[in-house]
Amino acid sequence: MEGKNMAVWFEIPVQDIQRAKKFYETIFDIELSGMDMGDEFKMEVFPGDQDSVSGALVYNDSWYKPSKTDGPLLYLNGNPDLQAIQDKIEAAGGTVTIPKREISPDYGYMAVFEDTEGNRMALHSDS
């Protein structure tokens, strides 16, 4: 295997692309870039470059379905301290389901939340 990361791209299913965009821009204090792919396929892309893992919020009613119980659990980068992001989740319309807790001294901290679209998502930080 070549490259630094096992993951190279992620797609988060959404039901309302603008609501989801506002939620993620608010909790991470970032700007997402829109892409209209036609045929009811819309994306809002997270910041990143060719040397980093990135992804997008994706709307397509027949292909992408949000889930808070099924499918993979995606951990988003919450460094330097995920608490700052966790503190914004409920005001932005999400729900913290597992508050920040230590995984171990070697592996840092994690938290799990449900976004505005009903997706189960997680955060990870070193402290």
The domains located in the chain, with CATH, are: 9-125 (3.10.180.10)
pLDDT at 4 over 80: no
The region of weakest confidence among 32-36, 43-47, 83-87 is 32-36
CB 46 within 8 A of CB 31: no
Bigger pLDDT: 36 vs 113: 113
Closest by CA position to 119, among listed 24, 46, 5, 50: 24
pLDDT per residue as tens digits for the range 96-127: 999 999 999 999 999 999 999 999 999 999 99
Instruction: Say which DSSP state 91 is in.
Output: T
List Cα–Cα distances, 18 to 23, 39, 61, 99, in angstroms. Answer: 9, 17, 15, 26
